[in-house]
Amino acid sequence: MHYKRRRLLLAGASLAASGTGLVRMPAFAQAGPLLRKMIPSSREEIPVIGLGTARRYENAAGAQREALERFGALGASVIDTAPVYGQAEAVVGELLEQLKLRPQLFLATKVSISGREAGVQQIEQSFKQLRTGKVDLIAVHNLRDTQVHLGTLRELKNQGRIRYAGITTSFDRQYGQFEETMRRQALDFIQVDYALDNRGADERILPLAADRGMGVMINLPFGRGRLFDAVRGKPLPPWASEFDCRSWPQFFLKYIVSHPAVTCAVPGMARPEYVEDNLGAARGRLPDPAMRRRMERFIDGI
Ligand X SMILES: NC(=O)c1ccc[n+]([C@@H]2O[C@H](COP(=O)([O-])OP(=O)(O)OC[C@H]3O[C@@H](n4cnc5c(N)ncnc54)[C@H](OP(=O)(O)O)[C@@H]3O)[C@@H](O)[C@H]2O)c1
User: Is 6 one of the binding residues for ligand X (CB under 6 A)?
Assistant: no
Amino acid at position 55, single letter:
R
Residues numbered 13-52 forming contacts with ligand X, rule: CB under 6 A: 52
Q: Which of 214, 166, 164, 222 is closest to 193 using CA atoms?
A: 222
Query: At closest approach, how far in Å is the CB of 117 from ligand X?
Result: 22
At its nearest, how many Å lie between ligand X and the CB of residue 219? 3
Provide, rounded to whole angstroms, the least separation between the CB of residue 9 and ligand X. Answer: 28
Round to the nearest angstrom and report the end-to-end CA distance of the chain. 45
* Binding map of ligand X across residues 131-170, x = CB under 6 A, - = no contact: ----------xx-------------------------xxx
Stretch that binds ligand X, among 17-25, 35-43, 155-163, 260-268 (CB under 6 A): 260-268
Comparing CB distances to ligand X, the nearer of 10 and 88 is 88
Locate all alpha helices (DSSP H) within the chain, ordered by sequence.
3-15, 64-73, 88-99, 116-130, 146-158, 175-184, 205-212, 226-231, 248-257, 272-279, 289-300
User: Is there binding between residue 56 and ligand X (CB under 6 A)?
Assistant: yes
Binding residues among 178-207 for ligand X as defined by CB under 6 A: 191
**Scanning residues 262 to 291, which ones bind ligand X (CB under 6 A)?**
266-269, 274, 277-278
Q: Which is nearer to ligand X, 224 or 246 (CB)?
A: 224
Smallest gap from residue 50 Cβ to ligand X (A): 9
CA distances from 134 to 103, 105, 203, 219, 292 (A): 10, 11, 34, 23, 37
Q: Could you give the CA distance from residue 107 to residue 127 in angstroms, rounded to a whole number? A: 11
Please identify the residue of the shown chain whose CB is closest to the bound ligand X.
Answer: 268
d(CA 217, CA 193): 9
Q: What residues contact 243, with CB distance under 8 A and at least 6 apart?
A: 22, 254, 258, 284, 285, 286, 287, 291
* Min dist. Cβ of residue 11 to ligand X (A): 25
Q: Contact 256/267 with Cβ under 8 angstroms?
A: no
CB 55, min distance to ligand X, A? 6
Instruction: Report the interface residues with ligand X, using CB under 6 A.
Output: 52-56, 80, 141-142, 168-170, 191, 219-225, 228, 249, 266-269, 274, 277-278
